């Protein structure tokens, strides 16, 4: 960098609001633009614009991540700007949308995370607020509605620090992760902007009487109960009652090889590909939707009751997840009902009276994971709309109708099964296969990975954990009743086992447990036993670990480790695999004791919460290893380990969403429209179907999140196949149906190209 460039870089934070930090009128790419698996060139202006722009090709076909960042030589000081945002113009001339993850870092190490989608064939300006009043408001919504009056597209908040030190912004980066093809965009006019005005009522009157956006118009918006009923009648004429042609009653492929029939589901490798086998002996690939239940359809209303008036058994206490109980707060509690959060209460334009039939959809949650208030009244607009649509007052009749229509939809859309978290009332309907699930909860001891996003990890060496695992498995078995329609059982979900990237994050369970007293931690006692078994003296351990522990008694009492050598890391790896092996061993024994004929499918790893040791441990004990993977597709760039494990594997969760639904947040993966949701679903599922180790993939979830966030943690995503009014998203359904109809031909024949082109293999 020459002296003139250094001066220019140092002055970037002095430019006035609105003036470009970079307008790319230079003769070379500015040195502050850093590239990661990307190539940048200066080109003529963006679509129908003059001047130059920066064209960036993101090499994501061959790399798991790619991106670019704005990295000044010294941190930016924007502390005197008041409310402001970072903005840039982005043009996408390609036929596919681009989903970006955005991170802003300050000098102190805090990170602010957002995401957005650049639609195909588009040219727009995008911004995200770095300082402003909205960043200090906890609303109980995962991402708030825009507070700026602006023609530009705001970039949606995901997680992280909202209070960055704007006097020392170190870097702003844009990344693409886990996509299947190269992406290419043009950026221009990188700048800081301020709002022309702020919408003082941006959090008021958000929700109409049907639970939809009261402030946005969108395709499929319902305006009357008559419309709901007309839609139900029309849909009823086209839904089917049986699986697609060429499939067994369990959804298996009757045109494929006939395998041994055991009367239950099992796994087998056929011609080099893992497959499930249905009870009649037909190859089976599991496609379906997870979370088909009314849990998570309730949202916090902003009302509460005096504690003495709250029901003793709150609806939300059923599981660690938000769960909608259908018993309303008793009339005796009404005199004590009061507004506990005016911010939440003012989001709604309508709520029914408790005496109204729709008042049955009130509930109560005693505790939330994330939100504006710690507890309170809830309401399910989705169930209220079911009541309106089907004109059924009796709860059992209403739920029976809902279940019947739901299964008809699954079969009509070509799905072969449900996914995880299915209302247990579906278990004995004997119409479509399903996966059962359970949570191991109790007062057993725990360990920590240092993350513990949902909760601390269990201590599997605590005898109480084994006791609770057997209680959980017994309850699941009681619900399943030995049904051959149950494919298998998921136990627990997305535990924070560890994350690759550093010794601290990968082996957090081991490092944190070693710091504890073995008297209080059964896992620590087991670690002490293993190390004493390997190192016959404390001197040998000190020599290998380069530590100065005085005795095994001190080691048992707890050691704090700050630096790590290769021998130590090798032992950490063995201890972590031993710990996780004990967890899966105990859980498998519990499941097989009560359900010997059903598959044990593990704990559904999150891609951010697993390590090689944990995967190996699961592969030793689970019949099928399960993963939740929220990206745009699967490839060897991430899934290289499947060949080494050589175990049947299944995706427990994936999804995408779009803003044309009227909701405020697309979800974890952004699409540009409902049609693009279908395109992305197709690409994701084809990548799974073509992978020889996967035996299925499940979409999360059936119903959109509430507009104002689910009561448990504020998720407000457009990730449903149906909206809050129980209206299917036709473009998504059409695309999914096409994928499902060609499922088995693509999976098991050599006619992949013919299937892609719409022909017959």
Q: pLDDT (tens digit, 9 = 90+) per residue, 291-316?
A: 999 988 999 999 999 876 665 433 33
What pLDDT band is residue 234 in, cutting at 50, 70 and 90? Answer: very high
Work out the average pLDDT over 529-541. 97
Please say if the pLDDT value at position 333 is more than 70: no
- Which residues are paired to 118 by β-bridges? 98
Burial class (CB in 10 A: 0-12, 13-18, 19+), 684: buried
For residue 361, the 8-state DSSP code is G
Please say if the pLDDT value at position 399 is more than 80: yes
Query: By C-alpha distance, which of 70, 83, 51, 100 is closest to 148?
Result: 83
Evaluate whether 278 touches 416 at the Cβ level (below 8 Å).
no
**What pLDDT is recorded for position 723?**
98
Work out the average pLDDT over 341-346. 97
What pLDDT band is residue 452 in, cutting at 50, 70 and 90? Answer: confident
**What pLDDT is recorded for position 323?**
38
**What pLDDT is recorded for position 580?**
98
Please say if the pLDDT value at position 355 is more than 90: no
**What pLDDT is recorded for position 750?**
60
Please say if the pLDDT value at position 571 is more than 50: yes
Please say if the pLDDT value at position 16 is more than 80: no
Q: Which domains does the chain have, with CATH numbers?
A: 3-193 (2.60.120.430), 405-516+579-678+691-740 (3.20.20.80)
* pLDDT over 70 percentage in the chain: 92
> Percent helix, strand and coil across the chain, each rounded to 5?
30, 25, 50
What pLDDT band is residue 329 in, cutting at 50, 70 and 90? Answer: low
Task: Give CA–CA dist 726/696, Å, rounded.
Answer: 26
Among the ranges given (236-250, 367-381, 547-561, 637-651), the one the predictor scored with the smallest mean pLDDT: 367-381
The vertex-64 CA angle with 655 and 603, nearest 5°, equals 50
E strand map for 205-337:
266-270, 273-277, 283-284, 286-290, 298-300, 303-304
**What pLDDT is recorded for position 757?**
43
Evaluate whether 630 touches 107 at the Cβ level (below 8 Å).
no
E strand map for 536-623:
599-600, 605-606
Task: Give CA–CA dist 642/276, Å, rounded.
Answer: 17
**What pLDDT is recorded for position 188?**
95
Burial class (CB in 10 A: 0-12, 13-18, 19+), 296: buried
Task: Give CA–CA dist 167/148, Å, rounded.
Answer: 22
**What pLDDT is recorded for position 331?**
61
Work out the average pLDDT over 207-218. 97
What pLDDT band is residue 455 in, cutting at 50, 70 and 90? Answer: confident
Please say if the pLDDT value at position 13 is more than 70: no
Pairing of strands 169-177, 98-106: antiparallel
């Amino acid at each position: 960098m020459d002296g003139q460039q250094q001066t220019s870089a140092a002055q970037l934070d002095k430019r006035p609001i609105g003036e470009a930090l970079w307008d790319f009128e230079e003769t070379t790419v500015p040195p502050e633009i850093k590239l990661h698996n990307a190539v940048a060139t200066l080109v003529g202006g963006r679509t129908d614009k003059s001047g130059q722009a920066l064209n960036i090709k993101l090499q994501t076909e061959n790399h798991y991540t790619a991106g670019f960042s704005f990295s000044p030589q010294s941190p930016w000081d924007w502390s005197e700007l008041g409310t402001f945002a970072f903005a840039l113009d982005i043009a996408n001339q390609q036929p596919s949308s681009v989903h970006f993850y955005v991170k802003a870092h300050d000098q102190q190490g805090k990170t602010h995370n957002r995401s957005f989608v650049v639609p195909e064939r588009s040219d727009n300006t995008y911004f995200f607020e770095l300082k402003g009043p909205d960043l200090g408001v906890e609303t109980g919504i995962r991402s708030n509605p825009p507070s700026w009056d602006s023609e530009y597209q705001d970039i949606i908040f995901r997680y992280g620090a909202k209070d960055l030190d704007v006097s020392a912004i170190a870097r702003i980066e844009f990344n693409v992760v886990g996509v299947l093809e190269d992406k290419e965009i043009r950026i221009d006019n990188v700048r800081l902007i301020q709002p022309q005005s702020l919408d003082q009522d941006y959090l008021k009157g958000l929700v109409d009487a049907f639970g939809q956006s009261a402030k946005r118009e969108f395709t499929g918006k319902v305006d009357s109960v008559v419309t709901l009923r007309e839609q139900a009648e029309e849909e009823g004429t086209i839904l089917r009652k049986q699986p697609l042609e060429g499939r067994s009653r369990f959804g298996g492929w009757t045109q494929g090889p006939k395998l041994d029939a055991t009367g239950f589901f099992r796994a087998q490798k056929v011609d080099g590909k893992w497959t499930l086998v249905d009870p009649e002996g037909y190859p089976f690939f599991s496609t379906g939707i997870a979370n088909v239940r009314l849990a998570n359809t309730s949202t916090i209303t902003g009302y509460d009751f005096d504690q003495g008036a709250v029901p003793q058994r709150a609806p939300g206490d059923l599981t660690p997840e938000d769960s909608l109980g259908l018993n309303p707060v008793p009339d005796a509690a009404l005199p004590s009902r009061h507004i506990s959060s005016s911010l939440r209460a003012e989001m709604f334009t309508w709520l029914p009276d408790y005496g109204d039939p729709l008042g049955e959809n009130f509930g109560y949650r005693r505790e939330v994971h994330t939100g504006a208030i710690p507890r309170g009244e809830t309401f399910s607009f989705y169930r209220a709309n079911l009541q309106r649509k089907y004109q059924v007052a009796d709860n059992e009749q209403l739920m029976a109708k809902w279940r019947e229509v739901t299964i008809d939809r699954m079969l009509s859309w070509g799905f072969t099964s449900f996914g995880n978290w299915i209302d247990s009332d579906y278990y004995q309907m004997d119409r479509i296969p399903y996966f059962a699930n359970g949570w191991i909860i109790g007062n057993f001891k725990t360990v920590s990975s240092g993350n513990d996003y949902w909760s601390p990890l269990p201590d599997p060496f605590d005898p109480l954990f084994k006791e609770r695992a057997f209680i959980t498995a017994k309850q699941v078995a009681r619900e399943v009743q030995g049904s051959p329609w149950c494919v298998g059982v998921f136990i627990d979900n997305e535990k924070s086992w560890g994350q690759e990237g550093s010794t601290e994050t990968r082996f957090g369970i081991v490092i944190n447990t070693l710091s504890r007293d073995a008297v209080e931690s059964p896992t620590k006692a087991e670690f002490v036993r293993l190390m004493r078994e390997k190192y016959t003296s404390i001197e040998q351990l000190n020599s290998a670990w380069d530590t100065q522990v005085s005795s095994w008694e001190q080691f048992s009492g707890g050691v704090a480790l700050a630096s790590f050598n290769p021998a130590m890391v090798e032992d950490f790896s063995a201890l972590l695999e031993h710990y996780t092996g004990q967890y899966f061993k105990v859980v498998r024994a519990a499941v097989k004791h009560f359900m010997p004929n059903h598959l044990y499918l593990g704990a559904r790893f999150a891609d951010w919460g697993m390590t090689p040791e944990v995967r190996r441990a699961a592969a030793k004990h689970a019949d099928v290893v399960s993963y939740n993977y929220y990206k745009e597709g699967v490839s060897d760039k991430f899934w290289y380990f499947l060949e080494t494990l050589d175990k049947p594997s299944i995706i427990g969760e994936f999804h995408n969403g779009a803003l044309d639904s009227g909701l405020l947040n697309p979800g974890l993966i952004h699409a540009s429209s409902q049609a693009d949701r279908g395109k992305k679903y197709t690409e994701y599922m084809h990548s799974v179907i073509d992978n020889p180790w996967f035996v299925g993939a499940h979409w999360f979830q059936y119903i959109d999140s509430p507009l104002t966030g689910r009561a448990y943690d504020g998720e407000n995503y457009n990730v449903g196949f149906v909206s809050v009014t129980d209206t299917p998203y036709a473009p998504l359904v059409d695309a999914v149906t096409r994928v499902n109809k060609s499922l088995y031909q693509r999976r098991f024949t050599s006619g992949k190209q013919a299937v892609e082109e719409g022909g017959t293999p």
